[in-house]
Structure 1
Amino acid sequence: MAESQVAGGSIGHVLVTGGCGFLGHHIVRLLRLRDPESRISVLDLNTNRNILAAEGIKYYNGDISSRESIEGVFAKLEYGKVDVVIHTISPPFHLGKELQWSVNVEGTKNLLEVAKGAGVKAFVYTSSASVIMDNSMVLVNADERWPIMVDNDQPEYYSTTKVIQFQMETAYAEHAVLEANRNPEGFLTAAIRPAAIFGEGDVQLIPPMMHASRAGQSKVQIGDNTNLFDYTYVGNVAHAHLLAASALLRTRAMATAPLDNEKVDGEAFFITNDQPVYFWDFPRMLWKETGDVRTAKEIWVLSYSMAWFIGLLMETVMWILGKTPKLTRQQVLKSTMTRFFNIDKAKRRLKYRPVVSLDDGIRRAAKWWLEQEALEQQKKSQ
């Protein structure tokens, strides 16, 4: 499907939480491109960035960790009743456990309750492929039947808050969204689990890779690069969210409930580019597009054991100095593990196919980075 095609017709009035963020603003732009008749409201803590000045789009400041704030936004929406909520808000990894709990867990709970009370028809939640990761197991063709990893099984707090308890110890944030499906009956929900999102506006994946390249660190490789890994272009993730929203609305309009093998409501879906690549091939493709022409002969390969020891040493020294190490054992582990997913469920039930290839996605991300780099250089020279 071409990017400009409408997937399933107009989906009415859509509220995109985090619509000024990385993924959220791509969803807003794609929805406007595909469905010019839709009305879009954006709720974000900061609506001074990634603005799309177009008819049919309104922006509202709000804090989802406050139910009163969400209710205030719903009360003043210029386009009236919301048909679909696409919930993408999530704070960056490094901002602390309390904020992650407040936003990912309490904020999602608040939004669910307000959406149900406002008569929202469909609720699409941005989860994460990391919910099944324990940062030690190999993931080969992992699918939605794999168990969610939490508490002692899940050492990465960001991943835990995506699925940790809402009201009871066994209820998780993603689980809570899916459990809210058909409760009340007209309220349908689904969760999208993207893996390693990258693209224009990226703040977590592309920047550290590019900073490493500019610092001359692209000459170092950890491990033998035989571990496959899934990277996902942000436009494809946006595409999956819109497919899920359309599917939920179609389900709601059905006279009978869908068959189990067709069901979208109450379900989670892994989303990738369906093109797993060897881990180090991705950054090297990016670096090449941005002018780093280092050849394979110039690469210094560190074994896992050597890199792990260096990471331990740097963690220890930096801890003593009160600084952040540039290499950690966790980074070494992630650089050498095999992790890729099976997206057959999304293909069958959402009719999902990537609309942008991995190569094209990397070219777009590289072009965006070079433009940002040029702007920064221009500012410094003034």
Structure 2
Amino acid sequence: MSESTESKSRGPLGRVVVIGGNGFLGHHIVNQAIESWTTTAVFGVDLRCERNRNPAAEYRECDITDPERLLSLIEELKPDVVIHTASPVANNPKIGNDIFKKVNVDGTQSVVDACEKAGVKALVYTSSASVISDNVTDLLNADERWPLIRGDQQTEYYSETKAAAEELVLKANRKDDSKLLTCAIRPAGIFGEGDVQTLAGILNVYKRGKHNVQVGNNENLFDFTYVGNVAHSHLLAAQLLLVTAASPTVPLDHERVDGEAFFITNDEPVYFWDFARAIWHAAGHDKGKEGTWTLPRELGIGLGFISEVFGSILGKTPTLTRKAIIMSSMTRYYNITKAKRVLRYKPLWTLQEGINRGVEWFAEQDRQQAAAAKA
């Protein structure tokens, strides 16, 4: 569907706080909560609240790694639901492991503690599909039965901290005398309007004229998920947690949302380079695979290493990395049967619709920047 046309009859969410509410995913959740759900009030909480604002929402600035300030704010706002999306960007080389630990683990513990103490009914945490990946080994039709990859087996510290935070959140479900219900959403390959990683990176390849190179044989299926669908899944989970909180009985195991994690995708696995070419086509490239040459994966990894070395010597961010080569040539797709059955999730936008919306958003940003430069 090209737009979310579902009415506000899905059920009330009450007072909603979105932590990270001015960020990429968070502001889409704020917008959907206001536009498509019945709410009493929607609050965006972020470190800085200047961008991605919805005039129908209220905003508060707060550092989630400040437990006292966060608790005071949650007690003030009195939310029924907290949706915690805040996290440093995964692939930013300027962000050290200490920041990932401080925000993703310590900050999430602060969120859990504040929710428990303030009597919040439901907490939905944005985890990551990467928590079951060592970021090297292929994933084929992976589902929630696959174990978290932790410690020495995990090659990416971001994923390590997201897994640790997910465990904190799920262990808090019905803990001791607390009435807090929790769940985790594991989105795969989020892209869309405001995306500074996936879509921005692929479009940048096109703008630099490097879109005629393909790494590997393009036989690797990959899951990408439009951000609007990811936002939708969070709100479905929030609603069902509230339904459970109001129920005098505990749901059957196969019906439970609380204490559970859910993979979320567009349910359209696609060959990695077909996805990239669909983005380039939406951006104006009309020659498809014409003129494309294939870079063997092993050679690409070697070139990535050389690029990283020179980048380190020159103090610059490398344009090619081993991780980028590996990710663009590995198989990584998930089974979302559990989310479809329990959350009753289905994508509101197709992959192509998401691509079109995202590319148009970036084109509009370029037009605005060009107009501002002329002014």
Report if TM-score (shorter chain) is over 0.5. yes
Structure 1 alignment gaps of length 5 or more: 164-171
1:146-157 alignment runs, 5 A limit: 146-157=146-157
User: In the alignment, is the contact (CA less than 8 A) between 1:32 and 1:38 conserved in 2?
Assistant: no
Q: Could you say if the C-alpha distance between residues 37 and 111 of structure 1 is closer, same or farther in structure 2, counting changes exceeding 3 Å?
A: closer
1:165-314 alignment runs, 5 A limit: 172-183=164-175, 184-314=177-307
TM superposition score normalised by structure 2: 0.95
| 1:356 and 2:349 matched | yes
SS of structure 2 residue aligned to 1:12: strand
Write the distance in 1 (CA, Å) between the matches of 2:7 and 2:83: 19
Specify the alignment match of 1:84 in structure 2: 81
Specify the alignment match of 1:45 in structure 2: 47
Q: Could you say if the C-alpha distance between residues 125 and 282 of structure 1 is closer, same or farther in structure 2, counting changes exceeding 3 Å?
A: same
SS of structure 1 residue aligned to 2:140: strand
Write the distance in 2 (CA, Å) between the matches of 1:50 and 1:314: 35
Residue 293 of structure 1 deviates from its aligned partner by 2.1
| 1:162 and 2:155 matched | no
1:99-114 alignment runs, 5 A limit: 99-114=99-114
Specify the alignment match of 1:324 in structure 2: 317
Residue 292 of structure 1 deviates from its aligned partner by 1.8
Letter matched to residue 248 of structure 2: A
Write the distance in 2 (CA, Å) between the matches of 1:286 and 1:216: 14
Letter matched to residue 170 of structure 2: L
Residue 25 of structure 1 deviates from its aligned partner by 0.5
User: In the alignment, is the contact (CA less than 8 A) between 1:4 and 1:33 conserved in 2?
Assistant: no
User: In the alignment, is the contact (CA less than 8 A) between 1:129 and 1:195 conserved in 2?
Assistant: yes
Specify the alignment match of 2:142 in structure 1: 142
Cα root mean square deviation, aligned: 1.4
How big is each residue's C-alpha offset from its partner over 1:190-222, in whole Å with a ceiling of 9 and x where there is no partner? Answer: 000000100111111111111110110111111
User: In the alignment, is the contact (CA less than 8 A) between 1:7 and 1:242 conserved in 2?
Assistant: no
Specify the alignment match of 2:29 in structure 1: 27
Write the distance in 1 (CA, Å) between the matches of 2:168 and 2:315: 39
Specify the alignment match of 1:69 in structure 2: 69
Specify the alignment match of 1:166 in structure 2: none
Letter matched to residue 143 of structure 2: D
Letter matched to residue 246 of structure 1: Q
Write the distance in 2 (CA, Å) between the matches of 1:8 and 1:266: 22
How big is each residue's C-alpha offset from its partner over 1:123-144, in whole Å with a ceiling of 9 and x where there is no partner? Answer: 0000000101101211000000
Which segment drifts farther, 294-303 or 124-133?
294-303
How big is each residue's C-alpha offset from its partner over 1:327-348, in whole Å with a ceiling of 9 and x where there is no partner? Answer: 1222111111000000000011
Residue 101 of structure 1 deviates from its aligned partner by 1.0
How big is each residue's C-alpha offset from its partner over 1:272-324, in whole Å with a ceiling of 9 and x where there is no partner? Answer: 00000000111111111111223312112111122122222222333333333
Write the distance in 2 (CA, Å) between the matches of 1:156 and 1:208: 19
Letter matched to residue 87 of structure 1: H
Write the distance in 2 (CA, Å) between the matches of 1:200 and 1:174: 26
Write the distance in 1 (CA, Å) between the matches of 2:139 and 2:295: 23
TM superposition score normalised by structure 1: 0.93
Structure 2 alignment gaps of length 5 or more: none
Q: Could you say if the C-alpha distance between residues 76 and 248 of structure 1 is closer, same or farther in structure 2, counting changes exceeding 3 Å?
A: closer
SS of structure 2 residue aligned to 1:217: coil
How big is each residue's C-alpha offset from its partner over 1:209-263, in whole Å with a ceiling of 9 and x where there is no partner? Answer: 1111011011111111110000000000010001101111111122211111111
SS of structure 1 residue aligned to 2:13: coil
Q: Could you say if the C-alpha distance between residues 144 and 187 of structure 1 is closer, same or farther in structure 2, counting changes exceeding 3 Å?
A: same
Letter matched to residue 9 of structure 1: G
Residue 61 of structure 1 deviates from its aligned partner by 0.6
User: In the alignment, is the contact (CA less than 8 A) between 2:16 and 2:39 conserved in 1?
Assistant: no
Which segment drifts farther, 286-295 or 191-200?
286-295
